Homo-oligomer: A and B are copies of this chain.
Amino acid sequence: MAVILITGGARSGKSRRAELRARSFPERPVYIATAEALDAEMDERIAKHRARRGGDWIEREVPLDLVTALSETDGGGARLVDCLTLWLSNLLHAERDWSEEVTRLADALPRQHSPVVLVTNEVGLGIVPDNALARTFRDAAGIMNQTIAGVADEVEFVVAGLPMKLK
């Protein structure tokens, strides 16, 4: 089944686009949130996303074990993973081997029976960040995006709410 990667900048309309794509498949869609509600800013953002999506989604919070969650939710509606950059950030915080986890995800995606729509962020189009941690993160995010795009059936780059087809 289809693996669709939606990439773009902050507030570019990626999530909305991904929701539209996920809803286009039959059966009740599954929302896999990689965000954890750890502070007020994040709380508010999660609440806004939920309000927009409406209540008919199956919801799961999956900060780390994405491959397991995909396996457990396979066989029904489309899974929307929002988003990979936060998942990567969670992996780095938890001191997991992000490179290995990205490879595991890339291996698992083509084996899914139900569709998967993944949201990610472009973070490498600004000035080189001053601090080494931010540089490490943007390098990892770039490599992750290339790897997942490589196994995806479709890739879209969203700017100002409008998708460009990359693949």
On A, residues with C-beta under 8 Å from B are 5, 7-13, 41, 120, 122-129, 132, 134, 137-139, 141-143, 145-146, 148-150, 155, 157, 159-162, 164, 166-167
Q: Is the interface of A mostly helix, strand, loop or mixed?
A: mixed
Beta-carbon contact of B164 and A9 below 8 Å = no
Report the nearest B residue to A139, measured CB to CB. Answer: B11
Beta-carbon contact of B149 and A160 below 8 Å = yes
Supposing A149-B160, A160-B5, A161-B150 touch, asked if A12 and B155 sit within 8 A by C-beta, the answer is no
Q: Kindly report how many copies of this chain are found in the complex they form together.
A: 3
Q: How far is the CB of A83 from chain B (nearest CB, A)?
A: 12
Beta-carbon contact of A166 and B166 below 8 Å = no
| A–B complex contacts, Cβ < 8 Å, 11 sampled | A9-B122, A9-B123, A9-B142, A10-B139, A11-B138, A13-B142, A13-B146, A123-B127, A125-B125, A157-B159, A162-B166
Q: How far is the CB of A119 from chain B (nearest CB, A)?
A: 13
- Name A161's contact: one of B127, B132, B146 (CB within 8 Å): B146
Beta-carbon contact of A159 and B122 below 8 Å = yes
Report the nearest B residue to A13, measured CB to CB. Answer: B146
Query: Apart from A13-B142, A124-B126, A146-B160, what 6 extra A-B contacts exist at CB < 8 Å?
Result: A5-B160, A7-B159, A8-B125, A122-B160, A124-B125, A149-B162
Report the nearest B residue to A149, measured CB to CB. Answer: B160
Cα(A150)–Cα(B41), bound, Å = 26
- Name A164's contact: one of B11, B120, B141, B164 (CB within 8 Å): B164
